[in-house]
Amino acid sequence: MVNPVSPASAQRHYFPALTGLRAVAAWLVFFHHYPFGELPAAGPARALRYFVSEFHGLPLLLLLSGFLIALRYDPNSTEFRPRGGWRRYLRNRAARIFPLYWLLTLAAFALLWRWHSPQATPGLLLLHLSLLRGFFADYLFTGIGPAWSLTLFECFYLAAPLLLGLRARGLPLWVQPLLLVGIGGGLVALLAPLRLHGLFGSYPFMLSFTFLGHSLEFFVGAWLALRYKAGRLGARAGWGLTAAGLAAWLALTVALALTQAWLPHAPQRPINLLLNLVGLPLAGGLLFAGLLRETTWLRQLLSTRLFQHLGRSSYAFYLCHAYPLAYWVYERLPDFWPLRLLAVQVVAYGLYKLVEEPLGEWLRAAEARPASVEGAGELR
């Protein structure tokens, strides 16, 4: 029997493999968005292209956020407030997300203005700076395109104390995603007919791009954290969990590539939504359990010093790997994706060391930083 991990003890744990996994997840997002050229005709070549682009990294980042936020939370608390109070909680979340995001958003809009893009408007800039654009389908991929997902993270950060408090009061974690989907469905029924620039404009949009429909990753991560704190994720021999997680992730990616290659409007089809919103979170949870419990070559690789540096700079990489910021880099380089990947990685690491890390330390200087998750943190 493994002794349960106390909250104080859990906060002292550091997860180097999860830090390294952040880098891998960011690279997968890079391949998902990289402009590989014209899409081949339907068939094996298109399936191969989709196989590369369907290696989603975002679910891993969402899982990690759920795991780390729940790891900080007292699992027996029935209060709907985070440990240390709302002020400290919100300040820490804002310090992780906003400084670098605001800086790069302003840089992105400066480029859009220079390129005479119709996106370069004060109203759209305000939507981006406030993270509200993630609720509007019409503006979802404007500005720093992949940053729409930051709205997911912020919604989870705000909702986590309430959701974990409900669990302590008897509402199981597995029920809560279903309730959130129901709330999202109600919002779509209410707001979609109003045609407010795509505000909860359709059920596929709500499921794929909002926290109400895209929450299972957070709950799987939170469930793993609660099991870890209860001492139920102790070390085990072998590599079965890690291998099963990788195999499941690979099989789901193949299935997603096939549906994209042969089915029209595949992202909106139920099978695709099921694979993305249920299959990938469960496969990712299996992989996380393996990395937490098993000493494998993958865990050792992700725990190396190189992957620690890459993982810590993954937020900067995530923000600058796609249009428009990456294209400013791409136009100065040959059309060779390994070179461009390396260039974006170097720029991201420079942003982390010169901007993100100093700004974060300055903003958090008033309080001691928790030792539990430094470096293994969420997407920020």
Q: Which tens digits make up the pLDDT trace of 99-125? A: 999 999 999 999 999 999 999 999 999
CA atoms within 13 A on the CB side of 300: 4
Cα 21 to Cα 27, 93, 218, 234, 266: the distances in Å are 10, 21, 16, 20, 28
Cα 156 to Cα 62, 63, 81, 93, 179: the distances in Å are 9, 11, 14, 11, 14
Region 290-316 average pLDDT? 96
Residue 87: CB atoms within 10 A of its CB come to: 9
Residue 281: CB atoms within 10 A of its CB come to: 24
Amino acid letter at 268?
Q
Alpha-carbon distance of 61 to 284, in angstroms, equals 10
Non-local CB neighbours of 336 within 8 Å, separated by 6+ positions = none
State residue 266's pLDDT score.
62
Alpha-carbon distance of 54 to 56, in angstroms, equals 5
Amino acid letter at 350?
G
* pLDDT above 70 for 249: yes
275 contacts 208 by C-beta, under 8 angstroms:
no
The answer to pTM > 0.85 is yes
Place of tokens 């910021």: 325
Name the token pair of 348.
């991201």
* pLDDT above 80 for 21: yes
Length of the chain: 380
Q: Give the model's confidence band at 43: pLDDT under 50 very low, under 70 low, under 90 confident, else very high.
A: low
State residue 364's pLDDT score.
67
Q: Over the stretch 359-369, which tens digit does the pLDDT of each residue have?
A: 878 876 755 54
Region 252-262 average pLDDT? 84
Alpha-carbon distance of 211 to 205, in angstroms, equals 11
Prior bond of 75 cis (ω within 30°): no
Helices 337-351 & 305-312 angle (0-180, nearest 10):
80
Q: Give the model's confidence band at 92: pLDDT under 50 very low, under 70 low, under 90 confident, else very high.
A: confident
Region 31-54 average pLDDT? 76
State residue 143's pLDDT score.
94
Q: What is the CA radius of gyration of the chain?
A: 20
Place of tokens 């700079």: 313
State residue 12's pLDDT score.
54
Using DSSP's 3-state secondary structure scheme, residue 312 falls into: helix
Helices 280-293 & 216-229 angle (0-180, nearest 10):
20
The CA-CA-CA angle for residues 129, 131, 136, to 5°, reads 120
